[in-house]
Structure formats: C-alpha cells, structure tokens
Structure 1
Amino acid sequence: MSVILKVENVGKLYKLGEVGTGALAHDMTRWWAKVRGKEDPFAKVAQKNDRTQKSSNDYVWALRNVSFDVQAGEILGIIGRNGAGKSTLLKILSKVTKQTEGNIKLKGKIASLLEVGTGFHPELTGRENVFLNGAILGMTKREIKARFDEIVDFAGVERYIDTPVKRYSSGMYVRLAFAVAAHLEPEILIIDEVLAVGDLEFQKKCLNKMRDVSENYGRTVLFVSHDLNAIKSLTTRCVLMQQGTVEHIGTPDDVVRKYLDRYDDTEAEFRNVDKSKPNISNVSIATSKEGGIQYFGHDMTLTARVNIPEATDALEMSYELIKSETNEPIAYNFFSTSGTMAYLKGKSGSFDVNIKIASLRLYRGEYYVKFNLSDPRGKVVFQRIEKCLPFEVFMYEIYNEWGFADGICKYIEESSLEISEQECR
C-alpha cells in the first residue's frame, strides 16, 4: 500500500483570549521569522496543552510536533482524553483551520464529519445540501444523482429530504451528513466523535459502512472516538494523543491498553496502607461495556475488598463520583455498620462490598471514583483512596436536544449493597 496522507511535525498555536492570531504586526513578524527559517518569536512563551494547569501566559500549543503516515485503505483510530488535540488535528486535516508549523501531504479528496451541522447550509434542504457537498468534492450532478437514493435510504430521512436542515434534529443531521460523506467517494473519510449523537443501531450501521469503504473500495478512514471497543474492532492502527502530541502509535489493542494504564491511578492508591487497621486492598468497576465505558441510565457496580483485622461495631464507607475535568464531586453515597453495612458489625476478615448503582444518571463525560473508610465515632479516617477506577459516560440511545450547564451538582446516588465474605490473604 502507498502512503496517502503524511503529517510532518505539525503544530497549532493559539493566542488565548483573542480571535485570530492577534495584531497584523504579530502576523508579519511571524511570517518574516518563517521566511528566515527562525523559530516563531511569539511561541517562546507558549505552554503545552495541559488543561489541568491554569495558564500563566497568552499562548498555548493545541498541537506540537505531530507526525504520522496513513496508508491507502487503512482505518486509523485516534484516541486520547478531552483536550488532547484530536479535534484540532482533524480540523487541520480537513482544512477548516491551518497549522502554525509543519507540513501535510495528501493524495485525493477529503470528506469530513467533525461536528453536528459541519458542511451543511442550514437554510438549504437536505436534497440541496447533498448536491452542494458533492459539488464541493468535485463530483458532477450526474454522479451525485446516481448515488442520491442510496444516500437518502442510508440516512433514513426520505420524508424530510426536502425540508430545510435547520429543522432537523441533531440525530437526523448526523445521519444525513455521514451518509453524504461515506457515499460520495472521497479518497479520505474523516469522522470525529460526532457519531455519539446517533442511536446505537445507526452507530453500528456507520461502523459497518466505514469497514466496507476501506475493505471493498480501498478508501482511507480516520476515526476519532471514545468508544474503545469500536476502536479495537474497526481500526487497523491507532494513535494515542496526549496534551497535543503523539504519545504512541501501534496496534489498536496495544494503544488502548496504554491509554487505560496511563489514566488509571488505582494501584498507587494502595501503597503505604496501615494493614493493622480496617483497609481497602482492592477496588474494581463493572461498567456497561468493557474498557470503562458506561451508558447513561444503565447499571454500574463498584466493588471494594474491605479487610477488618479486628472486629468493630463502627465502620463507615463512602464513595464519590468525580468529574475529571473539574475534579468536583458530582454524586456520592455512604454506608455504615449501623445501617446498610450491618452485616460487617462485630466481624473480622475480608469482605467484598458490591455497590450497585441502578440507572446511573451522570451526564456524558469522564469521571473517576473516590473511596473513604472511617470510624464515624472517633472521626478517624482509616483510608482515603483519592483517585481510582476512571470511566466515561455516553448517552447511548438518549440524546438531549437542550444544552447542559456545567457546574457542581451533587446528589445522593441510589445504591444497593451486597456483601460476601472472602478468604483472608
């Protein structure tokens, strides 16, 4: 196979708090430095793209030194946490924005699906937008007509095809946009995580279509998703991005494993624990799908191995579900031997405490779990596990047409307990 896309040392610099690059003098100075082969004079104060740290200057690198090749007919997956630079990279490849540095070499036409509504004119009908997108890709009216019925059938919007797309729901928008991008024969198809808007059946349909255009038509697909199972089952190679750089390139299984290992701090939380007192020696999570994927409204189970060296009548355990982006607790619950953990009262040994959270109500995003084990009488904290069991919530078949205001929204999550005694180790 030949190389169809080559990305060489690509970087994207943004000036915080301003639209564009700033004053004309900045642009001219930056251009003159490039002509002389010098480093960008305004890049010297830039920071890496680390959203966990507060910015102390006016510039930030959304991407830096990004390099990789893509073979013709390959399906390349791109994964990473929110803010890793994935969407910025795809916008540069789609020519929505231009890189600050580096080169991109590609062969053929690109069709991209980056955000809901990207590439569609809201005042035009679905039919008119299909022809508009085909014309942008360099197709003739006859070529578009030959595929029109197939596009409409795939999207399932026959009844609304002559309605202005501004009246479409988000799901209809995405279905038609994907159908257009996949059926108008671009050499490179770029899909961002916008498919999460669609229902499960349509997501599967899209994944099968991407596999089909790659295997049977030799087209290249770049696919960004937080659905690690889809990445492993669909892609032939994968890129892991971290803070605007490429951290690792390899097989999907290898890259996904590195991604999960990097963000799971669970093991570190069990070091230096006083085992002469009640303690938690292991925790695990059972989400809707493997790989830490949890669907809104589905059950989730947390399991903690609680060790009690000496029998006690007073023990309390709590958990909190923390939003990764803000480190704020969103949901919590607590249990004690005077109530739901009465089974442990006056006992010693090792016990698995299974906390079943029915119909989890967290909005989509990345989260982690915090545990506390304490003696409520003396206000003694035996153990505090600050950060473990990372997981990510998706809306599954449910998509809210309204917006969501971020903020601290604490509530007690309904949870049921199941405790089983284990052999001491």
Structure 2
Amino acid sequence: MSTIESAEARGAVFREIAEDQRPDEIESLCMQCYRNGMTRLLMTKIPFFKEIIVSSFKCDECGWSNTEIQSAGRIQDQGVRYALTVRTKKDLDREVVKMDCATTRIPELDFEIPPFTQKGSLTTIEGLLTRAMGGLEQDQAARREKEQDVASKIDEFIAKLQRLKEVETTFTLIVDDPSGNSFVENPFSPQKDEALTVSHYKRSQEQDQMLGLEESEQEAEPEERKPATLDELRDEVLQFGTNCPECNAPASTNMKLVQIPHFKDVIIMATNCDSCGHRTNEVKSGGAIEPQGTRITLHITDPSDMTRDLLKSETCNVYIPELEFEIGMGALGGKFTTVEGLLKDIRELIVVKNPFTVGDSATPGRAEKLQDFGQMLDKIMGGRMDAHLVLDDLAGNSYLQNVYAPEADPEMKVEHYVRSFEQNEELGLNDMKTEGYECEAESSSR
C-alpha cells in the first residue's frame, strides 16, 4: 500500500494542521541529474485558504531542492485584488499567499509577473522581491558575453528592485488573483489597514477560460418552458448539484425565494454535505441594485437587540466604530441571520480561524490583541457594552429589522446616499447601459 493510500485509510486526505502531522513521502525523478530523489507532500487545511498541498523535493545525489504550494480547494466565487502601499521595512515582513494563477505588479517600475509563470508560494513581500531578482539574475553571465546592452538594462532593473527592498521610496504591490485564493496579511487585524486595499470582483469570460471554468454549450431544449412566476418560486424549493467547499465531495444545494417583511425578495441557498457533515448558507438579493446606497446604523443598548433579524448582502461593509473595526464586502458573504449571529461570525473569522496567530506566523502581542478584540465582542453580545453596528451597502440590498415597525426606531438610523464614481465602478455600473436599446435597434435596422 502506498503512503497516500495509507493516509486515506487513516482518515480524510486534507486534515487540520497539527504538530504531529507527518508528510507523505514519494520517491520521484530529479529533473537536474535524472536520478531518484524524495518528494514530501503535506496535504492540510488552513483557515481562509481552504485545502492546500505543500510539496518539497530534495535530491541527495546532486543536492537540488524545490518547494511549492498549490491550492487544492475550490475556486472562489469572485476574484480578489490586493493593493498594498509599502512605506517601511516592516511592511516587507507581511506574509503573502500567492497562487500560481495570480498576477503580481509594481506600477512604479512598470513590472509584472504574469500568471502561471511561477509556482504558488507562501512567502513575504521581501520574499517576492528576492524571488523576482533571482529570476532576473539567471543567465546574466551568458548575456554579458553575447548581449551586453540587454544585460546592462537587466542589471539596472535589478538595482531598482534592490532599492525597493531597502524601501528607499514608497511603492505599491498589487496581487490580482482571479481564483480568489491568494492573500496578503493585515498585521493590524481586526482593525482596518490604511495601507492595504482589498477588492473582490466578478471574473471575465477570459479569466474563467484561463481557470478552466468555461461551461460547455448546452443543447437547446426541445420544448420551450414557461417562466415560473414569483408566487410559484416562493412555494418551491429548488435543488441543484454542487461540490462541498470543505471536502469537495458531491453535495446538493437547496435554494428558495423568501419575502422579507418591509423589505424585498431574497434568495436563500443552503448546502449540506453528507460526506463530512459540513453545512453552509448564503443569501443573495433577489432584486436589482438600488439607485442609492444605504447606510444602516444601530445603537446597541440592550441584549434584546441581539435578536434583530439582519440581512447582509455581498456588497455590504460592516463597521463597529467603538472597536475601530471594519470588514469589507465579500469577506463574510451574504448572510440572513441576527445581530448576534453576525457578531459571532466576525469573532470566529478574526479570532478563531485566523492562521496568522499560531505557529511560525505568530508575532508577539498579535494573539493577545485578537483575544482582547474577542472579549470586547463578547461584552457587546452580553449587553455589558454599548456599541454601534453600521451596515454600509453600496447596492442598497442589506436590511436590519425595525422592531417598532411601522413606526420609526429610535435606536436605528437609515441613510440613503448617492454613490461616487469609484463605488459605481466597483459595482460595474459605469459601463452598464440599460436605456436607448430600442432606438439603436431601429437605426441599425435601417
């Protein structure tokens, strides 16, 4: 029995990371000397990054070694883009999970590492720069003999990268990953990082093709189906096949259209995996993007506020001013829960499942700071601390229950505001045209 088969016999292939976890060893061919070396595979789960495969190869004959990291989890629903402004040498120590499909750019140098040109890696900002310099320095000796001008230009560029490593000037590092599985550390978590901007976006058709997600063309159905009405959809639970986000086994997702009183229709999606028992639920707005954004502010003064129903859409940012806390849209996904349920999800995401508070990733004081943050959330949920919960939704599709409805709620404030050009750009509205199609169709027919 092979080592991988024995791992499957002991339990799940991807297990939680632990001190006693041992990698699987496979004898494999060395691509330098063409003799046999040893590859070690560690298949594990890391919070935020789902399943990963860490592989390390070493050849005892010639001494060549190589390590890399690959994502074994599912591709996320949206791509992610990190933009970090590096100002000090301390910023160079930020940890980065860079998948092989991610694009890395430094606009100040007009420098770009295209996707699939490097293997996935778990490194730091300094490590990314060092790796880029090492790649450029390869074959420089041969270039100096044959192409002196090209070698000189590369030497100049390497010197520029070296100056960035010394942080002689401020520069911007952008990691753009259409799979959504890359990550750049926020050392100030759970507080907002002013130097780091995280944005989620919908992948283009070309990016789906690059990731192998392009769906095959479906054959036309022989009979035309009559579209279902809203009343029919509200009475029906739709079901379709999918894969479990934890173990990747076949699972089923139930979907239902629900009317929220004093609000609008929403779509609730729930997935239950029979293989590993994992359960997840997600809420998506059933209506269009509102003409204006919505900001809902709740003053939490009583434990009964924890039972208020809450709908957080995917485009909603959450703020707790008293804790100087902000979490961007897409981080928790869409949720239909209560105020207490949202605060528990925030606590689990920031305090419990944060991979940068244990092991080699931990730094002095970081775990204590996050524990203090968790205790403050516990005080708010226990009614021992007054606080404000702010739901800022660019699309206007979030909701917080008014327990005094239809009268005004003295502890809740709802504001509608005009979105800026940048906010409309983030929602993809600036290039969306919904008027004048009939006129254009008539002119083109003529």
TM-score (norm 2): 0.29
TM-score (norm 1): 0.30
Return the structure number with greater relative CO, CA threshold 8 A, min gap 6: 1
